[in-house]
Amino acid sequence: MEPYSVIVQAGPDEILHAREPHDLVFGFLRRWPSVGDVLVALPDMEGAAEAAGKLSSWGIRAFLGDPYNVCRRLLAAQAEMAAQAFNVRLLAIWKHADLHYVDRLVTAMREEPADLAAPPRDFDVTLAADVASLEAVERIAGIGGDSQEALRARFNPWGYMEMHPESFRVRYIEPAPRYGGDRVREILGDGRCHPENEFFGRQYQGSRYHFLAPRIPAGQRILDIACGSGFGSALLAERADVVVGVDYLEEYVARARERYPEGPRLRFLAGDGQQFRYEGGAGWFDLAVSLHTLEHVPDDSAMLAALRMNLRPGGRLILEVPILMDRPLGVPINPYHLREYRRQEILDQVREAGFRIDERVGGCREFYGREEQARDSLQIWATRMD
């Protein structure tokens, strides 16, 4: 087929931490016969110049652009490459992308142009690529304002298009592959570079916590399990009576305390979510937040029980977990995930743990909407029952 150019989106840390091109997508991308020009689009932020130098030593070109208007960054990068009417975008960490299927996405875009040629919703996008028309990306780049929707749209135009089918023509391209056991074992046996704690930069205002914060009543006692470097806990503390951020790793707790000084409204503690019991006693919290944590712990039922124990009667739980993709692997590719969940499975488990489910929100690439729009996550709002 006619070659196409590819933009690889990466953060500086992903490049700097890699030992060689094979640790990331570059090992096989440059050898693929359908791929012509390759350019890495880095956010113009701390570490980017050093990362660009490392890429140059590998023989790979880099482009530095807007950190948070990713649309603008990709459009500017595309202008430096061979002319084509669409972006083909891969993340650097998508080292197992199925380039046979990516060829199919590109062919579909060429034969019947659309705003986005995408894998079906039961297919893991990390094994594909984002193929979007430059015209659609330009439209999203120009969305103004600082609302959550606008910020997320400019950062992740592909998810925005999927969540707005009334405004964008999205074609889901079949047949999408489903791998057999040997291929699955080959991928899982290869070293995967999949950072679990993404850090967009402190100026980014479109995180999951930014989505949650306006929906949480002020003046609450909040338990934030797996708080990481503390950003979400600190954000919630702006409205809460007190937030206790808990993480299993002491180094994360130390980093959180360094970045966000503790005070009457914010504390950080080291603890295991499967058995954490707050020193204030059982039932001390009004709200528990657990975003993409349950899939990591050996005993997820024990963690749900601990969350319930720390909540007062009638206290609320906000839980978000990854949905298991049926294709192409049928098992998690993320090496940090002990499991991922089918929708009915996690709903039943939450109810069995003593919660009433009040609301279900579908997650699609950092966007939230109706449950049926979910691609990769399910967010559950529930109430402790007694």
Per-residue pLDDT of the chain (386 residues; tens, 9 = 90+): 999 999 999 999 999 999 999 999 998 898 999 999 999 999 999 999 999 999 999 999 999 999 999 999 999 999 999 899 999 999 999 999 999 999 999 999 999 999 999 999 999 999 999 999 999 999 999 999 988 889 999 999 999 999 999 999 999 999 999 999 999 999 999 876 555 444 444 445 557 898 899 999 999 999 999 999 899 999 999 999 999 999 999 999 999 999 999 999 999 999 999 999 999 899 999 999 999 999 999 999 999 999 999 999 999 999 999 999 999 999 999 988 999 999 999 999 999 999 999 999 999 998 999 999 999 999 999 999 98
pTM attached to this predicted model:
0.92
Query: Considering all CA atoms of the chain, what is the largest pairwise distance in Å, rounded to the nearest integer?
Result: 66
Distance CA 164, CA 158 (A): 10
What are the start-end ranges of the E strands in 68-107? 86-91
Distances (CA, A) of 153 to 8, 63, 136, 211: 19, 21, 11, 13
86-91 and 4-9: which strand pairing? parallel
Token pair in block for residue 207: 């995180």
Query: What residues contact residue 225 under an 8 Å CB cut-off, 6+ apart?
Result: 246, 273, 276, 288, 289, 290, 293, 303, 307
The token duo for 291 is 């975003």
Beta strands in the chain (DSSP E): 4-9, 35-43, 61-65, 86-91, 116-118, 130-133, 170-172, 221-225, 242-247, 266-270, 285-291, 311-322, 355-364, 367-369, 377-384
Contact 84, 52 (CB under 8 A): no
* β-bridge partners, 87: 132
Strands 116-118 and 61-65: unpaired
For 373, counting Cβ atoms within 10 Å of its Cβ (0-12 exposed, 13-18 middle, 19+ buried), the class is: middle
Helix, strand, coil percentages, rounded to 5, for the chain: 35, 25, 40
Q: How far apart are CA 316 and CA 240, in angstroms?
A: 14
| Two tokens, residue 264 | 């009457």
